[in-house]
Homo-oligomer: A and B are copies of this chain.
Amino acid sequence: MNYHLFGESHGPAIGVVLEDVPSGLELDMAFVAEQMARRAPGGSLLATARREADAVEIVSGVFEGKTCGTPLCALIRNTDMRSHDYEATRWLARPGHADWTGHLRYAGCNDPRGGGHFSGRLTAPLVFAGAVAKLALRPKGVEVVAHIRELAGVSDSPVDYAHPDLESLRALAGRDLAVLDETAGKAMRERILAARSCGDSVGGVIECLVCGMPAGLGCPDFDANVESLWARHLLAIPAVKGLEFGAGFRFAGMRGSAANDPFYRDTAGCVRTRTNNNGGINGGITNGMPLVCSVVIKPTPSIALEQETVDMRTGEPARLRVSGRHDPCILPRVVPVVEAATALAMQTLLASGGRA
């Protein structure tokens, strides 16, 4: 399921074209809206005050309520734009943002308003695409769940990668903060509000699990292994600056005897591993265990604090306070985006018959 995002934050609309959608899929728009709502801003002190209806218009690829199999285009009109917020600072490169690199790459022609095509707003059509992918995965018994593993130094309770408590993880979808441990959640909220109160922002780590994927999908080769496929999808999310499969960077301090996941035959006769440090992937191929990947999300670069920068036209030094409405922490809203990117990767893997 290839997807092609388009749109600028303050242009007429944003959207996505989805290719290779399985035909005959009932497009459950209530489910789609639910997924969109999880990402949508507003409604919480933790997020930006910008409100967007994010009403999705299905432009193509759906007939009589079902997917046709032909390219599905979904359009989301931009409505609550306040471009004047950005006019004054148009040529000042916001640190940590893509203003400067976009200016270089597109020779000064990219749309600077609200980050243009680089805006986090483009994750709205991505969540739409992910919702379609989830609908495609559902009849195959594949489920994607995610939670905030760490936020501003506060950790959620750890998930057992070999035997994840799916029930609890599923239940997080409705919450404003997808955290298993309530106490940790409370501490995270405090850190977000503390950052907000001083015009600053915080980052964290989101952990995503996929259950129900068959074993034996993928391939060791370059560009065709499961880790590579999944990584490509996750690194397309703005603010993701790293990722790890299973134990990931924790492997650096482990010995082989602890890191290796011993094989055994379970009571149902299936070969499984005792632990799941490898996150369900060996040699780029799924092994039948839950797939586990975590991504790090950097602190929102848009902060109210004054920062040093330059004027992009001249290189002249300048001071900048990013005004406008911004999240002090985007992790709550990125959780469904990570799930969406993951669902797209998994549907692609399944549809490819194994070669990612």
CB <8 Å contact, B252 and A116: no
Cβ contact of A261, chosen from B96, B116, B245, B310, cutoff 8 A: B96
CB <8 Å contact, B259 and A150: no
Q: How many residues of A contact B (CB 8 A)?
A: 138
CB <8 Å contact, A263 and B309: yes
Q: For window 287-304 of chain A, which residues contact chain B by CB distance below 8 Å?
A: 287, 296-303
Taken together, the copies of this chain in the complex come to: 4
Known A153-B252, A231-B228, A232-B228; contact A282-B98, beta-carbon cutoff 8 A = yes
On chain B, the residues within 8 Å of A151 by CB distance are 252
CB <8 Å contact, A252 and B296: yes
Q: For window 1-29 of chain A, which residues contact chain B by CB distance below 8 Å?
A: 3-8, 11-15, 17, 19-20, 23-24
On chain B, the residues within 8 Å of A8 by CB distance are 60-61, 63, 68, 70
Which A residues form the contact surface with B (CB < 8 A)?
3-8, 11-15, 17, 19-20, 23-24, 57-61, 63, 66-73, 75, 93, 95-98, 100-102, 104-111, 116-118, 150-153, 195, 200-205, 215-223, 225, 227-228, 231-233, 235-236, 238, 241-249, 251-257, 259-265, 269, 271, 273-274, 277-279, 281-287, 296-303, 305, 307-310, 312, 315-317, 351-355
